Structure 1
């Protein structure tokens, strides 16, 4: 992990100019803001970046992939069906490319591209429909069946302690893609809400989506 410096108050007897002139090693050498000697979180070398002041001891966890979500990548520009809707387009892709875990007769299970937790699935009807009350009896049945199977698969694969399951109906309710109905299945574990999402609005995910998909596909129960 690369550490980029930021401003840090000089330690006792140390001027900011002296720390800047001496480079990264002098800036890390001891000041009130330096990491404790022998700390497992202490970077081996604090790199001085021109114009950024005295290096500090903090490690940075960069998550640039989140900017795609913030900037609205893959979000439809219209409410119509077709290739502009990701949930309409995904079933036309190979399962591995679309991150599809399982296909049912009227709906499919797919990994969330921006997961809240590892194994975050969505159950999506093939038909481009916005409201749960507009689903056919067959679609309702398939969404329910895939939801149950998704829970079973995640419990087999990763022993989830619980789940958050639900739909956001309409943009006002928080639906990112309101025009195409989708139900979230979010696995939960004790302690999975820690300081990272609470303080830093950052989620640390231990596994690539392609590996998660392979694991869940293998664990999907046989009907």
Structure 2
């Protein structure tokens, strides 16, 4: 039996290379900054961060125009550090996690906040609010060997030049090595997996015409423009 159409994985550009990073899965960390937990009032600050997923084809690259999604009246940004996995790992220790990391990128976890709030209120999965077309913008991936200073780095997100989010990456509740290790306890991580590591406070609605940019110390920036619903 033959496939009716070819299926190719989405590619994220690799900084300094003509090659792309084929995306296999997208994992996201929820509630990984205390100030965002306080902002959203959805959980206890003592709760562990948790994980949810987005479809691989939700990825859109730097410079993309993202259509305002259907079924929402509260479309919001969440600026995040993204970790790209480059080696298969299972039950890895935090101190060994660099062996599994290919590189890092700037990302945006786009969210239909009103749908997410309904899911939270009904104790249902977050997919309606999180997993939709174009919901995972990701900038070019900088290979790990060329990345430095992330532990002491900052993340800044602006909308139309107005800074909305600013944080230090060392304020994450779970560090990158801890996130990779914990995920590898739950899933077999494979080359091509992306991990969005959580967002700080400052999330807010965006609208058609808005330009959203994320800058993370030492990494290529990510910029998207929101356009009218298609």
Same fold (TM over 0.5): no
Q: Which has the higher strand share?
A: 2
TM-score in terms of structure 1 length: 0.29
Q: Which has the higher helix share?
A: 1
- Choose 1 or 2 for highest CA Rg: 1
